[in-house]
């Protein structure tokens, strides 16, 4: 993407994202907290009123979150370093601190981090970053992409996310599919859907269509270049920009010529027997 001739202005933007990430990596745990705290919704990292994470411990939800974020920014950072920094900050408030320097308590606190809080933080930060974000040609550009990851080899994961068929039983890892929607202007992850190997990426994307608003421009690779998706986006008054799918012929002798390398073509709706399996029949019948 940095070398694309179509979007030269984005090269500088991508370079800036890398520079800002490098600057964050140089901060201490306290500096990271002071820098990012104003960007987070007030009270979201507070202790719960009751139940898990309700007691005021050394590793509060806030301290644990920023410790975890510190490790994400520095993947080679050991838990022992986080514990050292947290205990050093605690010592500023209590001169007679006898807390254990072990990592067990921090690791347990990290496992207790509520997933719903992390999701709400992501949504809040993405929304805040989008305010005043630069548009491209008047469009808010949103990028779709899919990937797959291996998960820990547990019985629960094997049932939910079976391993690829080419792997022998007992020798592979569960396989998780992910489809995400990103803001091109900010790089923020707006939303995502997960599934297993039996679920098509376009089927997962159906769960994310609410993220696209009139005036948006959707950018994705040729794997998403289908009639069904483009029609669904058009119904939402959303524009799309995809490379032509390899299975669809690109004959520039057809259609109306609008300019160099620019033609207006008509793409008729495929026959009913060509309906994608991931599109419900009722939804397919509503497509123009």
* Three-state helix/strand/coil letters over the chain: CCCCCCCCHHHHHHHHHHHHHHHHHCCCHHHHHHHHHHHCCCCCCCCCCCCCCCCCCCCCHHHHHHHHHHHHHCCCCCHHHHHHHHHHHHHHHCCCCCCCCCCHHHHHHHHCCCHHHHHHHHHHHHHHHHCCCCCECCEEEEEEEEEEEECCCCHHHHHHCCCCCCCCCCCCCCEEEEEEEEECCCCCEEEEEEECCCCCHHHHHHHHHHHCCCCEEEEECHHHCCHHHHHHHHHCCCEEEECCCCCCCCCCCCCEEEECCEEECCCCCCCHHHCCCCCCHHHHHHCC
pLDDT for residue 165: 77
Q: How confident is the model at residue 5 (pLDDT cuts 50, 70, 90)?
A: low
pLDDT for residue 117: 86
Tens of pLDDT, residues 127-167: 888 887 888 889 999 999 999 999 998 889 988 998 887 77
pLDDT for residue 97: 57
CA distances from 215 to 142, 174, 194, 238 (A): 11, 39, 26, 6
Fold of 132-286: Nucleotidyltransferase; domain 5 (3.30.420)
**15-43: average pLDDT:** 78
**25-31: average pLDDT:** 83
What gap in Å lies between CA 158 and CA 140, rounded to an integer?
Answer: 39
pLDDT for residue 127: 84
Q: What is the mean pLDDT of the chain?
A: 84
C-alpha atoms less than 13 angstroms from C-alpha of 88 in its C-beta half-sphere: 10
pLDDT for residue 146: 93
pLDDT for residue 195: 93
Are 163 and 174 in contact by the 8 Å Cβ rule? The answer is yes
pLDDT for residue 236: 93
How many CB atoms are located within 10 Å of the residue 139 CB? 16
Q: How confident is the model at residue 34 (pLDDT cuts 50, 70, 90)?
A: confident
pLDDT for residue 99: 65
**55-60: average pLDDT:** 74
pLDDT for residue 128: 84
Tens of pLDDT, residues 81-122: 989 888 888 777 665 555 667 888 889 988 888 888 888 888
Per-residue pLDDT at 80 exceeds 80? yes
How many CB atoms are located within 10 Å of the residue 38 CB? 7
Per-residue pLDDT at 67 exceeds 80? yes
Per-residue pLDDT at 8 exceeds 60? no
**25-39: average pLDDT:** 83
Tens of pLDDT, residues 167-193: 777 778 899 999 999 998 888 899 999
| All CATH 3.30.420 domain ranges in the chain, comma separated | 132-286
Higher pLDDT, 209 or 260: 209
Per-residue pLDDT at 1 exceeds 70? no
pLDDT for residue 38: 83
Question: Would you state the structure tokens that stand for residue 155, as one six-digit string?
Answer: 């019985």
């Amino acid at each position: 993407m940095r070398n694309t001739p179509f979007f030269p202005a984005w090269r500088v933007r991508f370079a800036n994202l890398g520079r800002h990430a490098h600057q964050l990596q140089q901060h201490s745990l306290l500096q990271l907290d002071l820098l990012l705290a104003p960007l987070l919704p007030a009270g979201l990292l507070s202790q719960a009123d009751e139940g898990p994470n309700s007691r005021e411990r050394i590793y509060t939800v806030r301290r644990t979150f920023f410790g975890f974020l510190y490790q994400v920014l520095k993947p080679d950072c050991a838990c022992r370093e986080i514990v050292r920094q947290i205990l050093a900050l605690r010592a500023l408030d209590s001169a007679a601190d006898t807390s254990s320097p072990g990592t067990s308590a921090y690791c347990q606190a990290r496992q207790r981090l509520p997933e719903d809080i992390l999701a709400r933080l992501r949504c809040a930060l993405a929304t805040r970053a989008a305010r005043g974000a630069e548009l491209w040609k008047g469009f808010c550009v949103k990028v779709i992409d899919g990937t797959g990851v291996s998960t820990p080899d547990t019985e629960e994961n094997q049932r939910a996310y079976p391993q690829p068929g080419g792997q022998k039983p007992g020798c592979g890892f569960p396989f998780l599919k992910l489809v995400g929607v990103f803001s091109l202007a900010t790089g923020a992850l707006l939303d995502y859907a997960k599934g297993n190997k039996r679920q098509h990426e376009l089927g997962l994307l159906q769960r994310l269509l609410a993220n696209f608003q009139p005036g948006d421009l959707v950018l994705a690779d040729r794997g998403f270049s289908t009639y069904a998706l483009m029609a669904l986006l058009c119904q939402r008054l959303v524009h799309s920009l995809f490379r032509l799918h390899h299975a669809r012929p690109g004959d520039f002798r057809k259609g109306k010529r609008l300019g160099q390398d620019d033609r207006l073509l008509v793409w008729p709706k495929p026959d009913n027997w060509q309906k994608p399996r991931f599109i419900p029949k009722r939804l397919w019948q509503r497509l123009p």
